Amino acid sequence: MPGSTAAKHIIAIGASAGGLEALEQFFCHNPLPDSVCYIVIQHLSPTHKSMMAELLVRYTPIPIRLIEDGAQLHANTIYLIPPAASVTVENGQFQLRQRQHDVLPLPIDTLLTSLAHHHATHTVAVILSGTGSDGSRGIRELKHAGGNVLVQAPEDARFGGMPDSAIATHCVDCIAGASELASRAAQYLQPDEPVAAPDTTDKTENDILALMLERTGVDFRQYKHSTVSRRLQRRYNATHRPEPGRYYPYLLDHPDEQRILYDDLLIPVTSFFRDGAVFDYLAEHVLPELLKDTQQQLRVWVAGCSSGEEAYSLAMLIEETLQRSANSAAWKLFATDVNDRNVQRASMGVYPHSIAEEISRERLQRFFIATSNGYQIRAELREHIVFARHNLLSDPPFTRMDLVACRNTLIYLQPEAQARVLAGFRHALQPHGVLLLGNSESTQGMDDSYRCLNDNLSLYQRTGGHMSAMTSSSRPRSRARQAALRSRPASASLPSPSPSESSKAAPMLELLKQSLIQRYAPPTLVIDADSRDVKRTLANVTPFLTTFDGPVSTHITDLIAKPLLPTVQSLLLRCRTQNDECRSATMSYTIAGQDMQLQLVAYPLEQDSNLLAVSFIDQQHAEASPNNAIVDDDYVHALEQELTQTQHDLKATIEELETTNEELQAANEELMASNEELQSSNEELQSVNEELNTVNAEYQSKVAQLNQLNADLTTMISASGVATVFVNNELRVTRFSPDIAEVFRLRESDIGRPLEEMHNHTDYTTVIDDLRRAIDQQQPVERELITAQQRVLLARITPYSEPRLQLRGAVATFIDITDVQRAQQLQAVIDALPEHIALIKYDGEIAMVNRAWARFASLNGNPDCRSCGVGSNYLSAMETAIAASDGDDHALLAIRDGIKGVILGTRNGYFVQYPCHSATEQRWFLMSVAPVANHDYAAVVSHFNITEWYRDDRTRTAQ
């Protein structure tokens, strides 16, 4: 029976097509302890009865159970998912749900996600052979919640779809063959040892974190020590280097391990519309208020966006709010993360099918496109979002934000780092802007900067007051970090630069300098004169930049707002040629619905002749310079004429293309509809294919089982010693045993030939007729026959019929009953004698008794002959009687010795007269023991009732 103790560890195994073979290998090489329970999740047909339990039981002694709703998880038990169901685990109990027919089944994702929420640190996920991507989302959740993930190597799997999808998540701890995964899993089931605290350990861990800072630009020393230590300990165990001193050299030499540790330390955990109450409150109270001003663009920043689910959730919420209020306000959402891989994944906007459990059907249809790999965000929503890499601890914050969302990031940081990030958010927010934190996070200690809107939901609002520009961390940047900053593309809102390294000598002067720049300096771009790339920004240049999707470019043609681009290019050309300051004419420019009088000024930087600066000066708030060098009016006029002609040409081209575009758009919509239908059909076919593969694997195993059964049957027939022959309904030989040679002359080559053509060694001339009659009438036939060696055989013909397979035939067995007949004849002879007779074997066992013996035993209180019948031991009965007399009955001793003498051959016979009185009668018997010349029997024991003779003799003697 399955164990009754609760499971300490859980091995959650996901398998699909080709998974049966992998499961067999896993359990055949399983060294895991008895404290483990196994949950096996497969893609099963809802109408097909799974044979998995019957198949697995041959490869493991562990008890196997079908999952039941509400059942407890017991140790040393394998649990199998029932068909047409999905399973979750909560508080050590299974929860079963019926599968929804209109949703693609993803039972592996469903289970792993629930384990991530309730049992993550005690769970190891194992992904085996299968097609599709089921499990990839669940392992990401489990991994980031503290669990471990093992995957069958794609080259070892029959179908590599599921292993490949799992590996692509970069959340896998181990990739190995199915036969190795169980032993690898054992390494992750050991309890994490507490991290030692000696100085050498702390120093080595500091070296590790310093290396990560050098290689990634992220200072994990500002993260909570307990969290970092646990994550490091997991990597120590996973790499079989349980001590920091052994792990550090390995980390130095293995860039792949650096990436794995980097991903593990960042702990990105997210999902769509996580904590629904938060999003309900935003939709009902916050977003409608922020979107009231239809002339102002709504700006939202999702910091620590991970793989993008929260950013897209907010984007969907904004679109729905605009639709409900018939509002057409513009909006932009900036989503950032320190992990460039997360940014890339989020930017793609592709998610697995399992998100259907988190997102309503209406939202899926409106904001997503179904693909073979899952769901993809529609372009209409994606174009509002800018994804970029951003380090909250070292990069300057964005500005002019109406809403900042940073959930469950601060909880991993040291208090000092938390305060610095919160101060940065205050700088990023507009006056009265809203800050959304995680459930376990707050703005404690910054009451002068934020007021609470909803404490339960961790919603806060920035309070009034001016705040100086935020400075970045004062720590020296590594060469890798400097290179990353130089190569990182600018976002749509370029942040202000951090202070120079020389500011360390005079921090107060540098702070004053930065404050003055923010207050009084005009927005300025520093541009490379050769490449025309923007190298640096000063003050808020965002109103003069364009917005775009896709990869971020720093070239002025991509970055400068289109109305300003010709003027900027002209100024840069003249400034580079004249190496002197150049100014544009004053022009009208609109920002957030308000017109301004703008003048552009370009000038070379003295300290680097290859750098030019372009400043944007609001003439309504700036004094005119006496040295204005206005751009040549003729040159500007020529550019304007050229632009006008280009606009006319473009308008004509657009008009020509509009008609074609409308037709193409209609055709494209039809193709998209057809494509969605095909994708849906493809998903259904894929699901059916997986189910068929599972059924096929079970059938293959069943065939192997039948082959084994056939081999066992052949062996049994051969070992039985019974002559046997099988024939079909045409009386052709289909199978026979080697002993059939005593009856028919058959060889292997005779299979398929008619039996009547075979030579018969017996007098059974009607065997063919009996076979036909047995098959036709479906009645057995028995005959006795004699062989050429004068052996008596019992021929028994038994018909068989299988209507479903249209099989009919018969099996004929020929059993040698010669010895049985002889024994029957001997029994008949001794039964005819009045004496009580028993045949005894050499060990004293009674082999045969006659009727008189059995009748006498019955009359004397032993009706079933248990102590003196066939199978009992006559000598043992004598010993029992001797023991009952304490060994003083010399007559019994003499009888025992006499019987033994005859059995052993030391005496030719033995006779004794003895009394055997009953309660109602006095009786005397004569016992005779004579040897038998037979290898089966040693002696014959006879008891003659001589009571009458004895009485007559006594009478004669008395006279």
For the chain, what are the domain ranges? 9-188, 199-254, 276-462, 489-498+522-631, 721-816, 821-958
Cβ–Cβ < 8 Å for 325, 291: yes
Q: What is the pLDDT of residue 467?
A: 39
Which residue, among 520, 499, 494, 518, has the nearest Cα to 510 in the 3D structure?
499
Instruction: Say if residue 834 is exposed, middle or buried (CB neighbours under 10 Å; 0-12, 13-18, 19+).
Output: exposed
The span from the CA of 489 to the CA of 534, in Å, is: 10
Q: What is the pLDDT of residue 563?
A: 86
Exactly one of 16, 165, 472, 701 is catalytic; name it: 16
Q: What is the pLDDT of residue 402?
A: 93
The span from the CA of 104 to the CA of 361, in Å, is: 12
Three-class secondary structure of residue 343 per DSSP: helix
> 372-375 long-range CB contacts below 8 Å, 24 or more apart?
372/679, 372/682, 372/683, 372/686, 373/133, 374/133, 374/350, 375/350, 375/351
Both tokens of 421, joined, read 């990030």
The span from the CA of 16 to the CA of 152, in Å, is: 12
Both tokens of 663, joined, read 């037709």
Both tokens of 583, joined, read 């100014």
Helix or strand holding residue 715 (H, E):
helix 633-720
Looking at this protein, which amino acid is placed at residue 572? L
Cβ–Cβ < 8 Å for 355, 137: yes
390 is catalytic: no
Please give the CATH number for the structural domain made up of 9-188.
3.40.50.180
- Integer-rounded Cα radius of gyration of the chain: 47
Q: What is the pLDDT of residue 552?
A: 66
Q: What is the pLDDT of residue 465?
A: 47
Q: What is the pLDDT of residue 503?
A: 38
Cβ–Cβ < 8 Å for 706, 29: no
In Å, how far are 520, 579, 597, 603, 623 from 628, measured between CA atoms?
20, 15, 16, 12, 11
Q: Tell me the fold of 276-462.
A: Rossmann fold (3.40.50)
Taking residue 588's Cβ as centre, other Cβ atoms within 10 Å add up to: 9
Q: What is the pLDDT of residue 497?
A: 40
Exactly one of 9, 43, 119, 353 is catalytic; name it: 43
Exactly one of 50, 86, 134, 173 is catalytic; name it: 134
Which residue, among 443, 433, 445, has the nearest Cα to 402 in the 3D structure?
433
Both tokens of 569, joined, read 């290019």
The answer to whether domain 9-188 and domain 276-462 are alike in fold is yes
Both tokens of 102, joined, read 């209109």
Which residue, among 394, 383, 567, has the nearest Cα to 476 in the 3D structure?
394
Instruction: Say if residue 674 is exposed, middle or buried (CB neighbours under 10 Å; 0-12, 13-18, 19+).
Output: exposed
Helices (H), 832-946: 851-859, 874-884, 890-904
Q: What is the pLDDT of residue 488?
A: 38
- Please give the full DSSP string across 454-493, using - where no structure is assigned: ETTTTEEEE-SS--PPPP---SPPPHHHHHHHHHSPP-SS
Residues of the chain with pLDDT under 50: 1, 192-199, 465-506, 623-631
Stated pTM of the model:
0.47
Instruction: Say if residue 452 is exposed, middle or buried (CB neighbours under 10 Å; 0-12, 13-18, 19+).
Output: middle
Which residue, among 215, 141, 124, has the nearest Cα to 480 in the 3D structure?
215
608 is catalytic: no
The span from the CA of 712 to the CA of 734, in Å, is: 17
Q: What is the pLDDT of residue 871?
A: 86
Helices (H), 788-889: 818-831, 851-859, 874-884
Q: What is the dihedral of CA 894, 897, 899, 902, to 10 degrees?
A: -130
119 is catalytic: no
The span from the CA of 227 to the CA of 676, in Å, is: 44
Cβ–Cβ < 8 Å for 865, 850: no
Residues 427-438 as b or e (16 or more Cβ within 10 Å = b)? bbbeeebbbbbb
Q: On the CB side of 616, how many CA atoms lie within 13 Å of its CA?
A: 26
Q: 732: which residues sit within 8 A by CB, 6+ positions away?
A: 752, 753, 754, 755
Please give the CATH number for the structural domain made up of 489-498+522-631.
3.30.450.20
Q: What is the pLDDT of residue 80?
A: 92
In Å, how far are 306, 387, 388, 534, 753 from 407, measured between CA atoms?
11, 17, 17, 32, 81
Please give the CATH number for the structural domain made up of 721-816.
3.30.450.20
Instruction: Say if residue 276 is exposed, middle or buried (CB neighbours under 10 Å; 0-12, 13-18, 19+).
Output: exposed
Q: Tell me the fold of 821-958.
A: Beta-Lactamase (3.30.450)
Three-class secondary structure of residue 928 per DSSP: strand
Cβ–Cβ < 8 Å for 41, 68: no
